[in-house]
Amino acid sequence: MNIDGSCAMVVGGASGMGRATAVRLAERGAKVAILDLPTSNGAEFAAQLAGNAEFFQCNVTDLAAVESQIADAVTALGALHIAVNTAGGGVSKRTLSKDGPHPIEDFASVVHLNLIATFNLNRLQAWHMSQGEPVDGERGVIINTSSIAAFEGQIGQVAYSAAKAGIAGMMLTMARDLGSLGIRTTAIAPSLFATGITSAIPEDMAAALTKDAAFPRRMGVPDEYASLALAIIENQMLNGGTIRLDGGQRFGPK
């Protein structure tokens, strides 16, 4: 996929890994739609990208509203070739605690935010991509955000691990579903990255959390996610898998 002149959508694009990816895409000549919560600074951020970006309010948990929000963004872009989805989050609760079983409402909420919302985005993004004309046989590429917690979830991450593992588990099947249309689907599974509240973690605590990494033994930074996202976009052979972005780290139990 040639980034220059393409139309890209970044969901969760007002901050962190999404923001870094939006910057990189705009710098490389893509027209970018930034979708994020109305409480975000997405409008101000989009204005900083020199006319190459526009902000659209989007709460990914509102499944019905997302359909029209994505349609509005694609109409403004004129087409859709690239979609990067970084919205998500979780809670820390054990399967059993002194207060009793993990609240099922909390489990369902985390799965809804991370897994169901991601699939909802994917099915809609793929539909809009399918309406375009292929270039070199390709109509689009979708990049989702999993986590290494999908593979080595820590104590208290049972809901988050299930949701992120679900994202990883969808990728090959979805790639097969969409392959005849020339649409690729891939996920990135980051380790601990300096985004949001984690960016405020003290240096000594960050060192302790990343001490088991091979190299580098530090938190990732958003631009490293963005760099991988652009590599996926440009390489047609990257499809159907989940790529770890973790410096060789394997999470311990806690």
Active-site residue list = 160
13, 22 Cβ separation under 8 angstroms: yes
DSSP string computed for 101-165: EPPHHHHHHHHIIIIIHHHHHHHHHHHHHHTSPPBTTB-EEEEEE--GGGTSPPTTBHHHHHHHH
229, 84 Cβ separation under 8 angstroms: yes
Q: Write the CB contacts of 192 (distance below 8 Å, at least 6 apart in sequence).
A: 198, 206, 209, 210, 219, 220, 249
CA–CA separation, 254 and 252 (whole Å): 5
CA–CA separation, 219 and 199 (whole Å): 9
9, 35 Cβ separation under 8 angstroms: yes
